[in-house]
Amino acid sequence: MKKFLGVFALAVFAVCGNAKAQFVGEESESAGQVDSLKQVVETLSGKVEESSQNDLDKAIWKDRAKYFNIGYVKQSLTSKDDVVKYKSSAGVNMTWGKTFYLHKKPLLNMIKIGLDWSWVDFNYVKYSSVEEVYADDDWSYGTDFGYDDTYTDEEDYDLDFGCHQLEYGMQIGPSVTVNPIDHLKVSTYFRFQPSASVMLLDDEVYYGFVPFFNFGAAVAWKSISIGVEGRWGGTKYHGVSVDDEGDDYYYDDYYGDESLDASDFVETFTQRMRTKSFRAYISFRF
Query: What pLDDT, in 10s, does the model give residues 61-91?
Result: 988 899 999 999 999 999 988 889 999 999 9
Question: How much is the pLDDT for 41?
Answer: 62
Using CA atoms, how far apart are residues 99 and 279, in angstroms rounded to an integer? 19
Length of the chain: 286
Confidence of residue 266 (pLDDT cuts 50, 70, 90): confident
User: 181: which residues sit within 8 A by CB, 6+ positions away?
Assistant: none
**Mean pLDDT of the 31-49 span:** 64
| Per-chain mean pLDDT for the chain | 80
- Do residues 100 and 65 make contact, with C-beta atoms less than 8 angstroms apart? yes
Radius of gyration of the chain (CA): 39
Question: Has residue 282 got a pLDDT over 70?
Answer: yes
pTM > 0.75: no
Distance CA 70, CA 91 (A): 11
Q: Where is average pLDDT lowest: 16-30, 34-48, 162-176, 237-251?
A: 16-30
d(CA 170, CA 277): 16
User: Burial code of 88-125, b = ≥16 C-beta within 10 A, e = fewer?
Assistant: beebebebebebeeeeeebeeeeebebebebeebebbb
Cα 49 versus chain centre, distance:
33
Higher pLDDT, 214 or 263: 214
> How much is the pLDDT for 2?
54
Nearest alpha carbon to residue 240 among 209, 200, 273, 272: 200
What pLDDT is attached to residue 175? 98
146 and 159 Cβ atoms separated by less than 8 Å? no
**147, 153, 156, 160: CA torsion to nearest 10:** 50
Residue 255 has pLDDT above 60, yes or no: no
Which of these, 216, 220, 264, 269, lies nearest to 243 by C-alpha position? 264
Does residue 121 have a pLDDT over 60?
Answer: yes
Q: Which of 122, 132, 202 is nearest to 164 (CA)?
A: 202
For residue 138, CA distances in Å to 62, 84, 133, 141, 256 come to 61, 19, 13, 11, 48
The more confidently predicted of residues 118 and 50 is 118
Rounded mean pLDDT of 113-128?
97
Side chain identity, residue 219: V
**pLDDT computed for residue 59 by the predictor:** 86
Angle at 286 between CA 51 and CA 228, to 5 degrees: 120
